[in-house]
Amino acid sequence: MNYETGIEADQDNPLLQGGEEDRRSRRNLILMALGVLLVVVVIAYFVNRSGAPADGANAKKDQAPTVTVVVPGRTTVEGTISATGTLAARREMPVGVAGEGGQVVSVLVEPGQWVGAGQVLAVIDRSVQVQQAASQSAQIQVARANADLAEANYQRALKLVDKGFVSKADVDRLRATRDAQLAQVRVASAQAGVLGAQIRRLNIVAPAAGLVLERRIEPGQVVGAGSGVLFRLAKGGEMEVKALLGETDLAVLSTGVSAEVVPVGTKKAFTGQVWQISPVIDPASRQGTARIALAYAPELRPGGFASVTIKSGTVVAPVLPESAILSDMQGSYVYVVGPDNKVQRRPVKSGRVTPQGIIVNEGLSGTERIVLRAGGFLQPGETIKPVSPRG
């Protein structure tokens, strides 16, 4: 069989003709599938491209930090002022030598002892003054004797003047002599009184009733006008605390308010009242003194320290915990959360510290959402995910 005859035979074969058509059909199907796949890829590309920003925003939103926020509102807080101060006698009475002084014979009181007004605290030797007083008493007796003699002579002269035995001039002279002698009696009595006063001043006495705080005198010691303070007394035993306060606290304080005092070294509290507020402010420390009167108690020792809590009325203001209030070189501030959940810095002026928290005097109305904690890790304008504190 020749070649041409073979080709014609193949063309006339129906099996061979069907196989060629199948190959063309499969090729067309493959091309159509590739086209569909290309269309799907293009659609997916554009869909992903248009949805990327939204997904990025959602991802960014999901990455925002979760921060606890609070709405402080406005709270009525009983205002208190805390300070420290020094215990002292409310009215301290320094006692020294009032007279000439001399050698101390005896000391009759000890520190911590109660004394009455005029009670003798110490006795100074008076042997010389006693002898001077005895001599002056004798001088009074001599003057009185001379006055009695002058009075008798004058009375006799009055009886004889009418009979002409004594002239009127003699009577006048005798009357003058009598008056002079009576004056001598008064002079001697006055001098005796001076000596008696000097002797009494040799006793060191309490000027008023009170508590002996300090004794600086011993028997045998020689004291005088230059010896200084020998005893210190607290009048009536009344004590006080001199509390140092800033000018801001002094401005809201008034006399008569109550205060609680706790001396260092004890947990016992004593109640007193502010009875005096310093009229001046120390220009160096910007502080003044509030004096709080206290009744006597053995635990109140002058010179010691005490912590003081003074009630200063009520305050209505936002109150925040310490963690919510931050500070830097520009002052105190808080982070306020806006409607878009972005935090913004807001300066505030904080007040006194109370058991409920720190009073915010200026900067907040109380209706804002405030970052409760972790504010130091935030930046102004940063978006957060706010949550309420757990009950």
- The band of 2, judged by pLDDT with boundaries at 50, 70 and 90, is very low
User: What pLDDT, in 10s, does the model give residues 309-362?
Assistant: 888 767 788 989 888 899 888 889 999 999 898 999 999 988 777 778 888 888
CATH code, 297:
2.40.30.170
CATH code, 359:
2.40.420.20
Is 135 contained in some domain? yes
Is 242 contained in some domain? yes
Is 192 contained in some domain? yes
Domain closes at, from 314, 341, 367: 314
User: What pLDDT, in 10s, does the model give residues 128-142?
Assistant: 878 888 888 888 888
Nearest 10 degrees: CA dihedral of 174, 178, 181, 182?
-170
Task: Indicate whether 267 and 335 sit together in one domain.
Answer: no
278 vs 9, higher pLDDT: 278
Question: What pLDDT, on a 0 to 100 scale, did the predictor assign at position 66?
Answer: 87
Average pLDDT over residues 284-313: 89
Which run of H or of E encompasses 196? helix 168-200
Question: What pLDDT, on a 0 to 100 scale, did the predictor assign at position 100?
Answer: 82
Task: Indicate whether 308 and 321 sit together in one domain.
Answer: no
Is 2 contained in some domain? no
Is 61 contained in some domain? no
Task: Indicate whether 135 and 188 sit together in one domain.
Answer: yes
Residue 114 to residue 226: CA distance in whole angstroms: 26
Task: Indicate whether 194 and 264 sit together in one domain.
Answer: no
Of the candidate ranges 35-49, 51-65, 355-369, the one whose mean pLDDT is the lowest: 51-65
- In this model, does residue 265 exceed pLDDT 90? no
Is 228 contained in some domain? no
- Phi and psi at 45, nearest 5°, equal -60, -50
Residue 153 to residue 136: CA distance in whole angstroms: 26
Question: What pLDDT, on a 0 to 100 scale, did the predictor assign at position 115?
Answer: 94
159 vs 362, higher pLDDT: 362
Task: Indicate whether 330 and 285 sit together in one domain.
Answer: no
Task: Indicate whether 194 and 242 sit together in one domain.
Answer: no
User: What pLDDT, in 10s, does the model give residues 208-258?
Assistant: 999 999 999 999 999 988 888 999 999 999 999 999 998 888 888 888 889
Domain closes at, from 277, 295, 314: 314
Task: Indicate whether 103 and 178 sit together in one domain.
Answer: yes
Task: Indicate whether 337 and 270 sit together in one domain.
Answer: no
Range of the domain at 293: 82-89+236-314
Task: Indicate whether 203 and 102 sit together in one domain.
Answer: yes
Helices 14-62 and 3-11 cross at an angle (nearest 10°) of: 60
Domain closes at, from 185, 215, 245: 215
Q: Percent of the chain at pLDDT above 90?
A: 28
Is 334 contained in some domain? yes
Task: Indicate whether 290 and 346 sit together in one domain.
Answer: no
- Phi and psi at 149, nearest 5°, equal -65, -40
- The band of 6, judged by pLDDT with boundaries at 50, 70 and 90, is very low
Is 9 contained in some domain? no
Residue 343 to residue 68: CA distance in whole angstroms: 12
Count the domains in the chain: 3
Task: Indicate whether 291 and 325 sit together in one domain.
Answer: no
